Structure 1
Amino acid sequence: MSSPSTPTRGRPARLDRARTLETALDLLNQSGLDALTMRRLADAMGVQAGALYRYFATKQDLLTAMAERMLEGVDTTAHAADSGDWSDRLATLARSLRTALLAHRDGARVFAGTHATGPSVLGFADAFVGVLREAGFRDDDAARALYTVVNYTVGHTLEEQAALQAADGDPESVGTLREAVTAGTPPYPHLSATLPTLTSTDFTRLFEFGLDLIIGGLRARRAPSAGD
């Protein structure tokens, strides 16, 4: 007797690791992370829930594999030493990470809760650290800069996706901050003066501002080389 994931004669297998991941990402994009359960994933694949545990022992294992898959399309070879200044290459990598997370609903939430160690995630990290080491940064500074930029990018994208989903679900929520500031008691003069920027939905400009601050700090910390 065949199991739910065993192919019968003339039929392809209904369950394998790659197809499971693709189906999980499809469900994530359709309904979000909160609605993604092992049971719902099994139903979508037409198998018993227990069959999924052949590939993923827990839901956390599944999410870790999904995080790895999200970074699969990031091209780290485009950031080699001959492709420009180190700061430009670093910014390109950070932008690529943000783009990869934005490509999936709740992508940042999935990535933030995992510690993937597959070739896509490690390849990205290695390329990032390599840019800084080749630019003359100390090894420990290069490693800490990796955490700083990744944490900033993931955190920014998490807030960005949450704001975009809130706006889709409740258009009036966009004006919540504006109303709270303008009608606030006591008054908030500094927030009122900067309200157009605080309520802006130009998330790319906001991301670039923070990224520029980080790179500026790294540039100030970098030891000058003989050629500088």
Structure 2
Amino acid sequence: MSSPSSPAKPPTRTPTRGRPPKLDPDRTIATALDLLNEAGLDALTMRRLAEAMGVQAGALYRYFATKQDLLTAMAERMLADRDTAAPEGAGQGWDEELAGLARALRAALLRHRDGARVFAGTYSTGVNTLGFAEALIGTLREAGFNSGDAAQAMLAVVSFTLGHTLEEQAALSGEAPADPERLRQAVTESAFPHLTAAVPVIADADFNAHFEFGLRLLVDGLRALER
């Protein structure tokens, strides 16, 4: 994912004369995602969304009572373009199926600017979100894990993937870029010998490698619970 440029103000759509533009949930969500990608989450307001759609702000509340309701619908839409079934590859083990689902979630969030921030704190009961959870829990239950462990594992995978992607998108946004050199200067071998030895890895911006390492730890931990 490339670093987005400075937030640009979305063009204002001037309402046309005559028949009011059609307003429906699907178009509202799609326009909200467009604005998100253009300007980021902080700039996404109900007023700006209404302007982009050529309607009065109050009209949006017909479908979304609060901005949080809108964010939940946006989070649900983010998962629409991923396969809710287990990843391709007949005969692969539960570990690869689980890892594939985690990677698919991360990819879905990375497709949208501030995608992880939008997704965090939402609890959609839409078919895409529930389908993802069903696939992950089902993969583990079919492998012999009990329902409780499978549910806890699903929560752990989602929390890890979401947290990692939040940090990744923050670093890539350019708004709060990581500064490896500042870290290197702050860590002295006399005061922090162990941290000094680890700085090359900590300061490395290879987010794929960091994600895969953490994911492997989760999978290895689950193997200890395998029946």
TM-score normalised by the chain length of structure 1 = 0.87
The amino acid that maps onto 2:130 is: L
Task: For 2:64, give the aligned amino acid.
Answer: F
- CA–CA distance in structure 1, aligned partners of residues 86 and 153 of structure 2: 20
Distance in structure 2 (CA, Å) of the matches to 1:154 and 1:171 = 19
Partner residue of 1:175?
A: 181
Paired residue secondary structure (2:152):
helix
Stretches of structure 2 that go unaligned for 5 or more consecutive residues are: 1-14
Q: Give the structure 2 partner of residue 135 of structure 1.
A: 143
1:36-75 correspondence runs (5 A) = 36-75=44-83
CA separation of 1:171 and 1:197: change in aligned 2, threshold 3 A: same
Higher-helix-fraction structure: 1
Shift of 1:173: 3.4
CA displacement at 1:178 relative to structure 2: 2.1
For the 8 Å contact 1:76–1:127, the answer to whether it is kept is: yes
Q: Which residue of 2 aligns with 1:34?
A: 42
- Cα distance 1:171–1:84, how it changes in 2: closer, same or farther (>3 A)? closer
Alpha-carbon distance in structure 1 between the residues aligned to 2:106 and 2:178:
27
Deviation by residue 1:35-85 (Cα, 9 ceiling, x = unmatched) = 111001001111100010011010000000000000011112343793511
Task: Determine which structure has more spread, i.e. the larger CA radius of gyration.
Answer: 1
Residues 103 and 141 of structure 1: CA distance in aligned 2, closer, same or farther (over 3 Å)? same
State, as a whole percentage, how many aligned pairs show the same letter. 62
Task: Tell me the residue number matched to 1:221.
Answer: 225
Q: Does the residue aligned with 2:80 lie in a helix, a strand or coil?
A: coil
- Counterpart of 1:157 in structure 2: which amino acid? T
Amino acid at match of 2:214: G
1:192 Cα deviation from its structure 2 partner: 1.1
Corresponding pairs, count: 211
Q: Which residue of 2 aligns with 1:88?
A: 96
Does structure 2 conserve the Cα–Cα contact (< 8 Å) formed by 1:81 and 1:131? no
Query: What amino acid does structure 2 have at the position aligned with 1:35?
Result: A
Contact 1:21/1:65, CA 8 A, preserved across alignment: yes
> Aligned in 2, Cα 1:30/1:206: closer, same or farther, shift over 3 Å?
same
User: Are 2:213 and 1:191 equivalent residues in the alignment?
Assistant: no
Shift in alpha-carbon separation, 1:148–1:172, aligned structure 2, 3 A: closer
Deviation of 1:181 after TM superposition, in Å, equals 1.6
CA distance in 1, matches of 2:76, 2:84: 14
SS in structure 1 of the partner of residue 119 of structure 2: helix
Q: Secondary structure at the match of 1:79?
A: coil
In 2, the alpha carbon distance for the partners of 1:169 and 1:57 equals 30
For 1:56 and 1:199, how far apart are their aligned partners in 2? 42
Indicate the larger mover: 75-84 or 34-43.
75-84
Match of 2:10 in 1: none
Do the aligned residues in 2 keep the contact of 1:83 with 1:89 (CA within 8 Å)? Answer: no
AA matched with 1:221: L
Residues 131-178 of structure 1: CA distance to partner in whole angstroms, max 9, x if unpaired?
Answer: 00000001100011000000000001001111112xx24768343322
RMSD, aligned α-carbons: 2.0
Task: Tell whether 2:210 aligns with 1:206.
Answer: yes
Aligned to 2:120: 112
Which structure has more relative contact order (CA 8 Å, sep 6+)? It is: 2
Instruction: Structure 1 unaligned segments of length 5 or more: list them.
Output: 224-228
CA apart distance, 1:208: 0.4
Residue equivalent to 2:8: none
Aligned AA (2:200): P
How far the C-alpha of 1:14 sits from its partner, in A, is: 3.2
